[in-house]
Amino acid sequence: MFHKIIVDLKEEFEKTRWFGLKGYRNYEMKVMWYSIVDSDIVLCTTMFQADDQREFYYIPIGISDHPPQYYTFIKTVDLNKEQIYLFDGDSLGKYHNVVLSGIIEKYGPFEAKILAKIPVELFVENYVATSSTNVLYVLSSEGDVKFIAKSYRKMSANDIEPMILLHLTKRGFNHAPRLYGLLRYLGKPFPTTTWILEEYIGNTVEGGYPFYINLKNYISSRNSPDENLVSTLSETIAELHFNLSLGGSFFKPEPVSRRDITYWNERILRRTKRILSALSEMEPSISREYKTVFNHLLERYLREEVIEDIINYYQPTTGELKMRIHQDLHLSQTLYSPLKKKFYIIDFEGEPGRSDYERSLKEPAVRDVACVLRSFSYLTIFTAKELSGKSMAEVCMRFLEGNVRGFNEWLRMASKMLVDRYVGFLKKFAQPIICLDGNDVENIVQRSVTYWSLEKALYEVEYELKYRPEFTIVPATGIAMIIREYLMRE
C-alpha cells in the first residue's frame, strides 16, 4: 500500500524546488526503500531517471487527517474510506525528535550523530521559505531555544556542507552557524547525510539588504559606498578562506595544474555554446522588448570568440593555489547583524547546478570573491529597476548603453573596494591562500577576479534559464558588462 502511495506522489515531487530533473519530458521513478515510523511518517528513498541522468532522493512523508502548516508538496488521497493528506514528513516536530533521540536508527540504516546537548522536545516553529533547493525549518523548544534543521532531499555522495560546517565549528569560526547534529543514511545507493541541525542566528537581515540601502542612499545623495560595510564583508570572506585552508587533505590548498586550467577553460566554453543555443531556441517565445535586448547582446558581446579571448587573457596560472571554497557565495548566502555589525556565511552546499564531482573540486579562493561581485551586479540592476519603475528589459538596455549614471559608479566603487580590502586582509595571514609567493597576491586577485566573474555569470545564465527564465536577461547583461570592460582595457 505505501509503495503505491509513494509512487502516486511522483507528480507532486516534480513541482517542488528541490526536484532536479526539470525540463525532461519522460523519466521513470523507482522506490528503492521505505520504512514506516508509527502511522504518521514514512521514510523512503527514490530514484528518478531520464535519459542518461539519474538522481536519488531521500523523502520523509507525513500522513495526517488534516493539512500541515508547512510543506513543499501535498496531496489528498482516500485511505480506508477516509481522506488523508500526504506531505513533507519533516514539517512535523515528531520527525526531528525521532532523529535527535536516535530512535530513527530502529527504522532503517541510519546513524544519528548529536554533537551538543539539545532539548529533548522540539517543535517546528516556521518553514524558512528561501530559494534553497533543500528544505529548512526553524525548530524551537519550550525554553525558546531555536535551531535550524536542514533536510537534504537530493542524495549526494559528497557530504560537502556537513564536513565544512563541522570543520568551521571545531575551528571556532564564528561567522558561520555551528553544527549541532547530523543524520546519515547508510543504505543504497550510497551513504549520505540527509539532515543537519545547526545554530539559529537571530536578529539578522539578508546580507544584501544593507548594500541595497547604501546603494539607494548613493543614488539619492551620492554618498560613497559604505567602506565599513564593504570592509567587514571582505574581512569575513578572508577569514573564511583562512580557516578553510587549514586541515587535512579535504581542505588543504594545492597548486593549480595545467589540467585544472584546461578543465576550467573548457567548462566555460561548453557552457557558452549551450547558452547561445538555448537563447536562440527561446527567441520565438520572448517578447519584442526582450528580443531587442538579446539581439543586442548576441550581436555585440555574447560571441564565442570574445569569450575565448577573455579566458585566455585572464586565465589562472600554475603559480596559483586551489582550495576548498564556499563555491556559491552570493549576498543571499550571508546574513548581517545590524546590532553587531557582523556578517555570517551560510549554505555551504556548493552550486546547486553542479554534479557531485564538480562540487567536490577545489578552486581558487578568488572565485568566492567573484561570486560576491556578481551579486553586487544583480543588486544594482534590480535596484535600478525598482527606482526607475521601468521594465527589466529597458533597465538592462540602459546598462548596456552606459545610460545609468550612479548605478554603474556605485557598482564599480563597491567592487574595487571589496577586492582591495580582501587582498589587504589576506596579507595578515601567514598561510598561503592565493599563491605560494605572497608578493603576487594582489596581481593575481586583480587579474583572475575577471575570469571567475565571467565564469560565474555564465553559470547564472544557465541557472536562470532553468529556474527563472524571466531573469535570464540579468546575468546576460552582466556578461556583456564584463566583456565591455575587457574590450576597453587599453
Reported as a single tens digit per residue, the pLDDT across 143-184 is 788 999 999 999 998 899 999 999 999 999 999 999 999 999
**DSSP at 284:** G
418/233 Cα distance (integer angstroms): 8
Measured between its terminal Cα atoms, the distance across the chain in Å is 70
318/316 Cα distance (integer angstroms): 7
Q: Residue 267: pLDDT band by 50, 70, 90 thresholds?
A: very high
For residue 340, give Cα distances in angstroms to 146, 204, 224, 330: 19, 9, 22, 21
Structural domains of the chain sorted by starting position, each given as residue range(s) with its CATH number in brackets: 2-199 (no CATH), 205-487 (3.90.1200.10)
258/318 Cα distance (integer angstroms): 6
- Mean residue pLDDT of the chain comes to 92
Q: What is the mean pLDDT of residues 333-338?
A: 97
3-state class of 70 per DSSP? coil
- Top-ranked range on mean pLDDT: pick from 7-11, 321-325, 428-432: 321-325
Q: Residue 298: pLDDT band by 50, 70, 90 thresholds?
A: confident
Q: Cell 536562470, residue?
A: 464
Q: Residue 301's pLDDT is what?
A: 87
Q: Residue 121: pLDDT band by 50, 70, 90 thresholds?
A: confident
268/232 Cα distance (integer angstroms): 31
Let me know: does 33 contact 67? Beta carbons within 8 Å.
no
356/378 Cα distance (integer angstroms): 27
Q: Is the pLDDT of residue 283 over 70?
A: no
- Which residues fall within 8 angstroms of residue 478, CB to CB, at 6 or more apart? 374, 377, 378, 381, 453, 457, 460
Q: pTM for the whole thing? A: 0.93
Q: Residue 167's pLDDT is what?
A: 97
- Which residues fall within 8 angstroms of residue 275, CB to CB, at 6 or more apart? 302, 458, 461, 462, 465
DSSP strand pairing (321-322 vs 254-255): antiparallel
Reported as a single tens digit per residue, the pLDDT across 191-234 is 999 999 999 999 999 999 999 999 999 999 877 889 999 999 99
Residue in 160, 152, 157 with CA at minimum distance from that of residue 196: 152
424/307 Cα distance (integer angstroms): 30
